[in-house]
Amino acid sequence: MGEYADQAIWTTAELRAAGHTHRDLGRAVSQQKLFKVTRGHYVSKNDAGVVLMAFTKAYPGIIFTGRTAAFLYGAVPMAWPATAEHSTSRTASPHLELRRRAARPTRQVDWLQVAVPAKVAVDLIATDEAAALRVLERGYTGFTGTRRLEEDLAGLTRGERKRLNPVLPKAVLGTASELERTAVTIIRRALAKEVEEGVVTVETNTLFRGYWFDVMIREARLLIEIDSYAFHGEGRARRSAFIRDRHKGNQVTRWNWLLLRYPDHAVTNMPGYVGGEVADTVRFVLDHDRRRRENEALDTDRPVQVSSSPA
């Protein structure tokens, strides 16, 4: 006879095939050796991830939505019942609230199909705007974050986009790390008036003349780099990265843009200093506008090609 702990998810048929009777199952549930999560499906471990995986076995094609999706994106704690949608099935129980709805675009998170972050944020805005923002920020990180958001917005209804629009400017999107997210939050707070009035936009992980920069405020021709000592400290950066970094800075200067660089220490320990300096720089530059024109470029105003081999 198979032990319940031999596998995480069981169907009734599998348990019967392993030699367990109906009475055995009732006893195992009362002793919490098994947990019945939906009709014909049990788990041997009372773990949220295992339970959600059991639902995918019970309802192939299930899509997790709302706060359950937010949990899977790491934005909120798990709360029951789980919320989900399915193209042909529906049910309501203490463990699962499943609605019947035509399939919408999804992402795969931990082997589970989850509604895209933009749709999850729409579902949460009315009851928990802070959670909606966390979903957006965690769901659209990295260099491709903004592009993925644009793609997902195209899949929303007009009404959903309208509900989401007031929240989007508050979200820090496209960041590659928690350090960058913190820095952008500091900068946006320091420029809150200008951002709210639409005078400036704070963009993240943006391409300028062939090089990526952590933050761009294009209205002020300002680029900002956030450097972690763990990566950029002495002996840690690759030779190729060191070389590109110098040419990168030269392009900023040649094209009459400004470059501010802040170490992780400043972002973590001196947020007022960082925010104040960035805000003052932006406000000053907005009153003094002169930039190099494209027809004034030299052949050297192209990204340098460097061997990727380490020093």
Q: What is the pLDDT of residues 6-15, one digit of tens each?
A: 788 988 888 8
Q: Can you list the pairs that 44-48 forms with residues at least 24 positions away whose Cβ atoms lie under 8 Å?
A: 44/4, 44/5, 44/6, 44/7, 44/8, 44/9, 44/10, 45/5, 45/8, 48/78
Distance CA(96)–CA(104), nearest Å, equals: 19
CATH class of 178-311: alpha beta
DSSP letter at 10 equals E
Domain(s) of CATH 3.40.960.10: residues in the chain: 178-311
Per-residue confidence of the chain (311 residues) as pLDDT tens digits? 568 777 889 888 888 888 888 888 888 888 888 999 988 899 988 899 999 999 999 999 999 999 999 999 999 999 999 999 999 999 998 899 999 999 889 999 989 999 999 999 999 999 999 999 999 988 988 777 878 888 899 899 999 999 998 888 778 777 768 888 899 999 999 999 998 888 998 888 888 888 888 899 999 999 999 987 655 555 555 677 778 888 889 999 999 899 999 999 999 999 999 999 999 999 999 887 655 567 766 676 677 565 555 54
Q: In 3-state terms, what secondary structure has residue 63?
A: strand
Q: How far apart are CA 140 and CA 221, in angstroms?
A: 25
Residue 291's pLDDT is what? 59
What pTM, to 2 d.p., does this model score? 0.69
pLDDT tens digits, one per residue of 94-104: 899 999 999 88
Residue 145: predicted pLDDT: 81
Query: Around Cβ 67, how many Cβ atoms within 10 Å?
Result: 24
Q: Where do the H-state alpha helices sit in the chain?
A: 12-17, 22-30, 48-58, 66-72, 117-124, 129-139, 145-154, 158-164, 178-190, 192-196, 229-232, 239-254, 264-269, 271-285
